[in-house]
Copies of this chain bind each other. A is one copy, B any other.
Amino acid sequence: MVRGRITGLAASDIRFPTSLGHHGSDAMHPDPDYSAAYVVIETDARDGLKGYGLTFTLGKGTEVVVCAVNALSIHVVNKDLEEIVNDFRGFYRQLTSDGQLRWIGPEKGAVHLATAAVLNAIWDLWAKQEGKPLWKLLVDMDPKQLLSCIDFRYITDALTEEEAHEILQNGLLGKKEREEQMLKHGYPAYTTSCAWLGYPDQQLKQLCTEALKDGWTRFKVKVGADLPDDIRRCRLIREMIGPDKTLMLDANQRWEVKEAIEWVTKLAEFKPLWIEEPTSPDDILGHAAISKALAPLGIGVATGEQCHNRVIFKQLLQAKALSYLQIDSCRLGSVNENLSVLLMAKKFQIPVCPHAGGVGLCELVQHLIIFDYISVSGSLENRMCEYVDHLHEHFKYPAIIKKASYVPPQDAGYSTEMKEESARKYLFPQGEVWQKILYLSHNKCFALRGDAIVK
């Protein structure tokens, strides 16, 4: 089924001016412009199919990731798609272990985000050629083929290939029923849309009221900038949602280890399920210390959206540093690296609750978590996938939520494709949206300067 030689790879810098409305604001990222390094792959297969991939960014720096995508393209262009997917482990290794390029990583930062964008496009193309949504492509693969996509380098002390095979083999039992269940009920989600740090209380209340009306039962609040402020906001939300619904906290790496423990202890009365990203995403031992201290309060530690690779996830699991593991479809090296993390999480019996939101993250990660349920974890206990309600309108196959659950996508591919018009309008800085903003801010500067001169 897989066909064609890759004839072109184009990367572009697409930015949405979300900072204008404080959407996505948190304790460390006060003014994000949700953006993507967006990759389009073409082949000579003459089937009209293209592969679309992206990695999520926050505005500035997207051009750096685009530059890294271009640096990787020599490993992609002129390759046969069939050769790639038949030795996907080898191809992954080639991209991540280029003897020169790996120095600026390895497997971290801009070059790894770029790897994600490129491989996401390959997976999209593969799934499209097979005529299946990505989750279904994965579900239909046999254990051996799934394993052949994974680079086990640096994780064999936590998970061997044989152990992974056994997990996947066990996952075959009841698979069909779980697939039907997903198609019928979808995958449970939670919402982060109500309580961004930059939102005033009034907006927070209104959004929360609407979310309750829409059937949401799990809510996440951004915290970490100011304690009295956090207490007020947590109280407000807890009162609105009542004692039985689920509340999660997210500090976006704001604290020192000791500070995290003290701060969260003061928010314990609001019964949060977890504290997310209490400190540096690199601090495995720090997360372990926080986990240990908060366990008696019934608060778990969640992290992952900035875990840069499987080696960090491995250690978080080994060190008992987290209670909820948050994979990200765009920071790890695409489906390939996420597969290894899903399997490690299964072995260590830690529930996976994916990070989503941003731009495109919901579209992508739903495929991974639906596959995880059907073929790996087989459980929904303590599990849910993040959902944020914006920017979906720019995608050709937007994520669909019904009754606070993700509806499994039916269209072929990885849901990565943006609408052509959006990709054109939001292209940075040439697109018309940015031309207008830059023109306005230029005029504003000019006016201010004029003002200064007048004074």
Residues of B close to A298: CB separation below 8 A: none
Separation in Å of the A69 CB from the closest CB of chain B? 10
> Interface on chain A toward B: helix, strand, loop, or mixed SS?
loop
Contact between A256 and B153 (Cβ–Cβ < 8 Å)?
yes
Residues of B close to A112: CB separation below 8 A: 109
- Binary interface encoding of chain A residues 106-119 relative to chain B, with 1 for a CB under 8 A from any of its CBs, else 0: 11111111000000
Cβ-neighbour of A61 out of B60, B104, B108 (below 8 A): B104
- Binary interface encoding of chain A residues 69-107 relative to chain B, with 1 for a CB under 8 A from any of its CBs, else 0: 001000000000000000000000000011111111111
Q: How many copies does the complex hold?
A: 2
Residues of B close to A170: CB separation below 8 A: none
Complex Cα spacing A109 to B33, Å: 21
Residues of B close to A28: CB separation below 8 A: 97, 99, 102
Residues of B close to A154: CB separation below 8 A: 256, 279-280, 282-283, 286
Residues of B close to A113: CB separation below 8 A: 104
Cβ-neighbour of A110 out of B104, B279, B311 (below 8 A): B104
- Binary interface encoding of chain A residues 52-79 relative to chain B, with 1 for a CB under 8 A from any of its CBs, else 0: 0000111111011101100100000000
Given A58-B101, A285-B315, 14 additional A-B pairs, CB 8 A:
A28-B99, A61-B101, A61-B103, A61-B111, A64-B111, A68-B110, A110-B110, A154-B280, A154-B286, A157-B257, A157-B289, A282-B311, A282-B312, A285-B318
Q: List 27 A-B contacts (CB under 8 A).
A: A28-B102, A30-B99, A32-B100, A57-B103, A57-B104, A58-B101, A60-B71, A60-B100, A60-B101, A61-B100, A61-B101, A61-B111, A64-B67, A64-B110, A65-B104, A67-B67, A105-B109, A106-B253, A106-B281, A107-B282, A110-B110, A154-B256, A156-B256, A282-B308, A282-B315, A283-B311, A283-B314
